[in-house]
Structure 1
């Protein structure tokens, strides 16, 4: 379960586009699925929740450049043409940028209209920007750039104690029991949630079990402080939370609604991944795991950094 490195809430930005006559380029990276109302028209024509260029009358193609919020190794691209039926581009390609050099991530490929066109990427270079090329013109609802964030080892070292679960530091969700209302990757996004919809919320359980999420840290670390944030979850926060790793319980605590819980750990030992069990169900806004990389973690990150350049 790779995070979307281009997502606006991760820090992504659409820095340029050759044309956006019908719909704005910024729509490419907003969270959530695109929406559509067949009755809405504006001065530019039909209102679309996506990026749409004018009909080309000359040779060429249109393109948009997206700066990743969390630079890293791209594993999968989704060119989402949902709701674009008679005005989608028949083909698209995606390039990556690293060290001021553009290179191919996805070759020119056929697209389907009103579809999530998913393409696996086989490239181990660290990417900071992507360029979507649509041929010759048309509309794309969303561009998703799924992958593994690769932070700068020098920055991690200089910062000292950091959130090793954060997407920008390589944190990622490995598995989850339930994602009925919202995505578990939201737990690891930068900044505080601005509403309940920006957290992770499960369906109401009607059995004797509980929900859980498994989180991989960016590097092997020693966690000093665990932060469990239930802000905006007023009547649907979990009653209890248990955080553990490799057979060890790190935190076992009652949970209050609409509250930031911070728990100091005593000698937790090296950690590479954790499992958070919430009892019995409900939602959280954010999970923060503040700590410092171990020596093995620092060396592993340094090795990955050099291999990706």
Structure 2
């Protein structure tokens, strides 16, 4: 079948026999399916059948399960459809099964570019169709533009049961944080399955929930011992998986007995053809219940994977499979941002430390000498405890350090917080000096600018002993705070 309005055909019949299991459009996604989130926005006429029937997921049934308009239209009837996801278009399936004599004489399809000026562009020229048939028409070249809407026109009137718009999803900006990497709207694809005779394997990754109309992946009954069926999903992008979800709704009696999930990393589209690919079991074999959403934890959530394999025992139906996680690229970008922030903080800390490390000059030589004398006496006579073998060793401090610690706040040089100082110098800051009550009173009376009017309360021997006890060496060291990265994933269901 060619294009009668052009010297060069723009499409061809991908399935002339009308019963091929695989053809040139088999690997594409139906962008106009209600299961993808598509919707009919408006139609010129729906006298004998709603235009919403065009986007139903299942095969057409009786004559009422189609879009059918009234007769004798002097112009043409049309229906506009918003696609479930914007994407490039590779072909169409115009299905008239169930219509024999009520079908339109010919149809054409136009599209509206996503984010464009709203103008309609011809995608499929006017094509004659017949009743009780599928017209699977593939474009010779997949469109370069991504389309968000299509409009099908009946010439002049009549009916069409289903319209499939096959294409490739154009993925939008990545979602920050955890996302479903096994969703078709994110770019995932089901690339292989052991069997899908009773339910298409592509249903596993549809964005909508499974119900009686959309169904899921369903295999034939197998009576052989130790039988299992499987389906392989190529994730939207390699990522770190955090949790899985297996949905058996709306199956009650058709669900498998149990299921397990494996994962691998491969650069090939189909890892079954990669001899170096190794499958890891990331979710153990779990018993499945009817009409239930099963949430499974991932055991290897710190390893990146590109594909997952759902294995069911022995056979049955699964409505949806979800694989939540973070893309590897997103995690790497997040780590790079945190490294840049840490470097900037370290540079700022170094700059501040260089500016604040110079001690303020003393303005009174006599006061400085007096403070040095008091400090020396306090350290030599009162403060210095006798070290026992079971006490940790504390390094000695110079008089200059002790003097700076005992100076009044106005004359004391600014000090970095322990965290900043430790990050800047790479060394632990010296532990603070501890004084007994008598030494503290003596030093404070000599260094304070205002004489004390009240005598400090009498302290007990227990409090003095507590003050004289040496500080723990581990507490004296400034610990560098390790910057924790944003968690790769959420653990909420």
Tell me which interval the TM-score lies in, with the shorter structure as reference length: 0.7 to 0.9
- Asked if the contact 1:182/1:197 (under 8 Å) is kept, the reply is no
Q: 1:109 aligns with which of 127, 142, 153?
A: 127
Q: Which position in structure 2 is the counterpart of 1:304?
A: none
One of 11, 33, 38 as aligned partner of 2:37 = 11
Report the Cα offset of residue 278 of structure 1.
1.5
Which residue of the partner structure matches residue 176 of structure 1?
193
Q: CA deviation at 1:280?
A: 1.8
Find the counterpart in structure 1 of residue 224 from structure 2.
207
Aligned pairs (5 A) from 1:1-309: 1-36=27-62, 48-58=64-74, 60-98=75-113, 99=116, 100-121=118-139, 122-153=142-173, 156-158=174-176, 160-195=177-212, 198-208=215-225, 209-235=227-253, 236-245=255-264, 246-249=277-280, 250-258=282-290, 259=292, 260-267=294-301, 269-295=303-329
Counterparts of 1:186 and 1:112, CA distance in 2: 29
Q: Deviation per CA, 1:166-224: give whole Å up to 9, x if none.
A: 12222222222222322222222234334597232211113354211121222333322
Equivalent position SS for 2:120? strand
Following superposition, the deviation at residue 268 of structure 1 comes to: 5.2
Check whether the contact 1:238–1:279 (CA below 8 A) recurs between aligned residues.
yes
State the structure with more CA Rg. 2
8 Å CA contact retained: 1:196, 1:232 = no
CA distance in 2, matches of 1:147, 1:297: 30
Contact preservation (8 Å) 1:72, 1:147: yes
Deviates more, 1:218-227 or 1:60-69: 218-227
Shift of 1:162: 0.9
Give the equivalent residue in structure 1 for 2:7.
none
Partners of 1:280 and 1:91 in 2: how far apart? 47
Structure 2: runs of 5 or more not aligned: 1-26, 265-276, 334-493
Write the distance in 2 (CA, Å) between the matches of 1:2 and 1:193.
20
Alpha-carbon distance, 1:298 to partner: 11
Matched residues in 1 for 2:45 and 2:252: separation?
44
Cα distance 1:274–1:76, how it changes in 2: closer, same or farther (>3 A)? farther
Cα contact 1:221–1:294 (8 A) shared by 2: yes
Q: TM-score, normalised by structure 2?
A: 0.54
C-alpha separation between the residues in 2 aligned to 1:134 and 1:197? 26
Instruction: Choose between structure 1 and 2 for higher RCO, CA contacts under 8 A separated by at least 6 residues.
Output: 1
More helix by share: 2
* Paired residues of 1:2 and 1:172 also in contact (CA < 8 A): no
Q: Secondary structure at the match of 1:65?
A: strand
Contact 2:85 2:169 in 1 (8 A): yes
Q: Does the C-alpha gap of structure 1 residues 53 and 195 become closer, same or farther in structure 2, counting only changes over 3 Å? A: closer
Deviation at 1:70, TM superposition (A): 1.8
Matched residues in 2 for 1:21 and 1:222: separation? 52
Q: CA deviation at 1:297?
A: 11
* SS across alignment from 1:26: helix
Which structure carries more strand by proportion? 1
Q: Deviation of residue 97 (structure 1)?
A: 1.1
